[in-house]
Structure 1
Amino acid sequence: MSGALRLVHTHGDRITVSEPATGVELFAYVYRPEAAWEAPKPYLHPVRTLAGAVVTDYRPNDHRWHKGLSLTASHLSGANLWGGNTYVHGQGYLELPERVGSMRHAGFDGVRAADGRAVIAERLTWHPYDGEVWAAEERRIEVHDVDPRAGTWALTWTSAVTNRRAEPLRLGSPTTAGRELAGYTGLFWRGPRSFRGGRILGPEGEGTELMGTKAPWLAFSGEHDGRDGHATLVFAHAPENDHVGARGGHPAHWFVRAEPFAAVAPSWAFFDELELAPGATLRRRYRVVVADGAWDREDVARYLEAHPW
């Protein structure tokens, strides 16, 4: 396993986390505000494997608001904290800048690296276009289980979002607004262009048939441009997440595409809106494993068994 990670904080801009043994910068967490039309929010990019291969995309020409790995809210009580055009049923995607909001950095409660782990603990506020505070988020990103010999590392992303309005917040997606199989919202990964057409795996299925299904994990493998080899990303729900709807909560469904681009989101509002009462908090915890090589289902299951929550 790796020793101490190296963390560099460029205040007002970004935090980078590197693995000293390989010299690879695992990711940059960028929290400076960007273009208003793209719904400014913090994001991770570039994210790299331990071999140094980049496994995220940034501002691709088809969706300039897709930025690495980030938390989004595509439909939030009529606001768009996703960026770009807004889906309106019966009219398609419309340019409605008055609906585009932001997720703003409010401060850090901790930024540190020690004992083979790195932690970024951040406070954010969520806003519609007019700047009103609609929600407050406590976010924790933890890097752990860095193993240069195996070519794997992992991060755990935890978000607790509290409604600060005097009325319910409605979290939805283009699918809840009427577009079929477009339930993207919540944690969202955009893969590099070379991952288009990559392999999608779940515990009991494979391929685009997994769109809109429920499962504790989903994996995406792609082949690199500019260098030989593949990489695999595994996205997993924490046990307390209602990923199967068995506990009477709000079930999570996978949004996943390999065409026309690579993307994965453990959507928190795929088919049905999630209503958050005033003062209530939505908590979700996810793990993202970044691995060199093309994994199969057995590789994923073996890793998750060896690295329990």
Structure 2
Amino acid sequence: MDTRSTWSITNPTPPGAAPAQSDPTPDRTAPARIALVGVHGFGAHHLRNLERLGAEGTVDLVAVADPNPPAAGALPDTTAVHANLDQLLAGNHHADVIIVATPIQTHAPLALSVLAAEAHLYLEKPPVASMKDFLRLQEAAGAAGRSVQVGFQSLGSHALAALAKLANGEAADELPTIGTLKGISATGRWVRDRAYYKRSRWAGKRSLDGVDVVDGVATNPLAHAIATALRIAGARHAEDLASVETDLYRANDIEADDTSVIRLRTINGLPITCALTLCATEPVEPYVTLHGTEGTAVFHYTEDRVTVATEDGETTHTFGRDDLTENLLQHLSGGTPLLSPLDHSGAFMRVLEAVRTAEAPALIPTECVEWVGTGDQAHAVIPHIEDILERATRAHATFSELGLPWALPNTTGTEALFSPEPGLDYPATTLRSGSKLETNLSPRPYLHPVSTPAGVVVTDHLASDHVWHLGAGFALQDVNGSNFWGGRSYRRTAGKYLDLKDHGRIEVAGITREEGRTTLDLEWFGADGSLVLQERRTFTRTVSSARTWRLDIQTRLTAVVDVTLGSPGSHGAAGSGYGGFFWRLPVNGSPRVFSSTAEGEPAVHGSVSPWLAWTGEFDGGTATLVFGSPSESEDPWFVRCSGYPAVGSALAWDAAVELAAETSLTRSNTVWISDGTLDPKEIEELVAGR
């Protein structure tokens, strides 16, 4: 509770109220009388901090309570030692402030007892283990007229004032602007070994003896990541959040989550995605990222360090920090606003409540987890977790939506592309509607995963380098000024890519299935919501051999109004004429890209040929993709190999295509998907039978 106080901190009773204890005469110069409940774990940090403040003459540690008392000599001789809070309160120590640093499940009853004794309260995070207890605690603090500071230490950072300016589109004194804020993410990559979960009965528990604990990665070890992101977003109260989604997993033998995505959206529509794990390869200081139209700001909150990256370079500044205990004392003596008042933990408690009431975290299969070390020092590592967290935060996607092999299947907006045919075992191909994608990814339908007959996956989506690259599909970066590709838009007038609010979306209006054929009726809506194109996209599958199958993709675009179909190339970006058919491949080893007339990325990029082939070592085996050029037009190939793996057929390579209202344009592409390698002769035979 953020209650302004004008009486001495040595007298916790406001004027006009009956004293709860026999109070000393108010004296603003006397040290504040502090009691500490819980001297181990994070309580040991409070002991060290109180020792510092005691040496400065700011506080007097009058009593501690812990069933396991501290070692001899760890406390001042004048400090009383009790086994529990009840004994401490009965000791008549006249504590101005009581600090509670005990196991999570004890926070609510102990905090209520402190407030009933009319002492002010410093409560470690998370404040309590349920929203019900949080509301009870708020009511008790209000009734007692006492202040409650919650121990989210990062909220004492001076960087928050600068980050608030950046979030508002302004420059700070120490940092340049990042433009308009698009979203916020929090990333935590820590390591916890088996010993960590054996240190106490409540470690890693969702509940203990019927009492909520909620000791998961998002609500305890990396709770600061979420609390800090919420504070920067201006979300303090539960009602400041429009939605909370959880995607919870565990690699360890525990009840709670150790690897999770928490996806939030504020009532103002700002996305906040927190991707957190205790199963990293090695620990890294956690950070919160502000994503702006002109750059990013990365806040390493444990170090109070902010790095802003823009096209002009990087700027780093390390800020100071206010101690939350000192802030509470200044609040009580002089009315300084609390930095982490209980009332401002409402949004965090909304997150905790969502985690508490969610289905139990899904166990990650053992084959998807590596163990490093032996015995109690062994810790779980999820392979590629660093890149996975980056994908999740950049795309504001859950692990399930990323389609990870260990994640729960995503059943929203995904379905088999083709109807099953009795007696035939075709490779699985998944159609995704893309309807839940963020607006700046230009939501649209696409295929992923697409596999070879042996099951080798040869598409990728939501890659950390270009999160708007979506499997296999058809998209354009400029249709009458609307971006249906995702990401930034290249504009000739600026001579560079710009982060604009110009993204359109492609929606599925209908699906028709026949044997071996699926047809989508699609509608292209511009950034202003108007319908600009209608599309009929037809997929046909054919088995070529035991190791090769063929996918034909025909697109017919019909203009609803007069349209101009463009690309970065048509806007003046030489060699960047992408747009139209596009296939994003996963990272693969020893890639070879070639056509009937050229070999290697520099030679095939921008060339025109009947086919283009890609062979590589994919996760699961060697595979070859052969792309047949559209039969209607000699569109140049767009190829990337060194920076990221992708192939496209460029509809508007260096000049826009004009399409009058009620007229149509058709492109037919073929892809042969094969296990192993194919030599040019085998490829020519496939293409000849097209």
> Which residue, out of 552, 559, 566, partners 1:172?
566
The within-5 A match list for 1:118-267 is: 118-147=516-545, 149=546, 151-165=547-561, 168-194=562-588, 198-208=591-601, 209-225=603-619, 227=620, 229-239=621-631, 241-243=632-634, 252-267=635-650
- Contact 2:594–2:614, Cα closer than 8 Å, also in 1: yes
Q: Displacement, 1:106?
A: 0.6
Distance (Å, rounded) in 1 between the aligned partners of 2:426 and 2:670: 20
Q: In structure 1, what residue type is equivalent to 2:519?
A: A
Distance (Å, rounded) in 1 between the aligned partners of 2:421 and 2:661: 42
Q: In structure 2, what residue type is equivalent to 1:300?
A: I
Q: Displacement, 1:112?
A: 3.0
> Which residue, out of 499, 502, 505, partners 1:95?
499
Q: Are 1:28 and 2:430 an aligned pair? A: yes
Distance (Å, rounded) in 1 between the aligned partners of 2:427 and 2:614: 21
Q: Are 1:301 and 2:684 an aligned pair? A: yes
- Contact 2:638–2:649, Cα closer than 8 Å, also in 1: yes
1:21–1:291 Cα change, 3 Å: farther
Distance (Å, rounded) in 2 between the aligned partners of 1:218 and 1:231: 14
1:58–1:200 Cα change, 3 Å: same
Structure 1 runs not aligned, ≥5 long: 1-9, 244-251
- Contact 1:24–1:52, Cα closer than 8 Å, also in 2: no
Q: Which protein is richer in helix relative to its size?
A: 2
> Which residue, out of 647, 663, 668, partners 1:280?
663
11-20 vs 137-146, which moves further: 11-20
Q: Displacement, 1:146?
A: 4.9
Q: Displacement, 1:16?
A: 4.1
Distance (Å, rounded) in 1 between the aligned partners of 2:522 and 2:616: 32
Q: In structure 1, what residue type is equivalent to 2:468?
A: W
Q: Displacement, 1:25?
A: 4.0
Q: Displacement, 1:214?
A: 1.2
> Which residue, out of 649, 654, 663, partners 1:271?
654
Q: Are 1:47 and 2:450 an aligned pair? A: yes
Q: In structure 2, what residue type is equivalent to 1:14?
A: E
- Contact 1:201–1:297, Cα closer than 8 Å, also in 2: no
Q: In structure 2, what residue type is equivalent to 1:92?
A: K
SS of the aligned residue for 2:626 comes to strand
Q: In structure 1, what residue type is equivalent to 2:549?
A: W
SS of the aligned residue for 2:687 comes to helix
Q: Displacement, 1:91?
A: 4.5
Distance (Å, rounded) in 2 between the aligned partners of 1:129 and 1:145: 40
Partner in structure 2 of residue 14 of structure 1: 415
The within-5 A match list for 1:55-66 is: 55-66=458-469
Q: In structure 2, what residue type is equivalent to 1:232?
A: T
1:47–1:19 Cα change, 3 Å: farther
The within-5 A match list for 1:103-114 is: 103-108=506-511, 110-113=512-515
Distance (Å, rounded) in 2 between the aligned partners of 1:193 and 1:96: 29
SS of the aligned residue for 2:588 comes to helix
Q: Superposition RMSD on alpha carbons, in Å?
A: 2.0
- Contact 2:570–2:654, Cα closer than 8 Å, also in 1: yes
Distance (Å, rounded) in 1 between the aligned partners of 2:417 and 2:475: 21
- Contact 2:473–2:582, Cα closer than 8 Å, also in 1: yes
- Contact 1:19–1:25, Cα closer than 8 Å, also in 2: no
Structure 2 runs not aligned, ≥5 long: 1-410
Deviations 1:73-104 (A, max 9, x none): 1122211100011112344222112x110111
Q: In structure 1, what residue type is equivalent to 2:659?
A: L
State the TM-score, normalized to the length of structure 1. Answer: 0.84
Partner in structure 2 of residue 249 of structure 1: none
- Contact 1:16–1:25, Cα closer than 8 Å, also in 2: no
40-49 vs 216-225, which moves further: 216-225
1:121–1:16 Cα change, 3 Å: closer
SS of the aligned residue for 2:596 comes to coil
SS of the aligned residue for 2:642 comes to coil
| Larger CA Rg, structure 1 vs 2 | 2
Larger relative contact order, structure 1 or 2 (CA cutoff 8 Å, min sep 6): 1
Deviations 1:213-233 (A, max 9, x none): 1112111111113x3x31111
Q: Which protein is richer in strand relative to its size?
A: 1
1:20–1:48 Cα change, 3 Å: farther
Q: Displacement, 1:23?
A: 5.5
Distance (Å, rounded) in 2 between the aligned partners of 1:111 and 1:22: 16
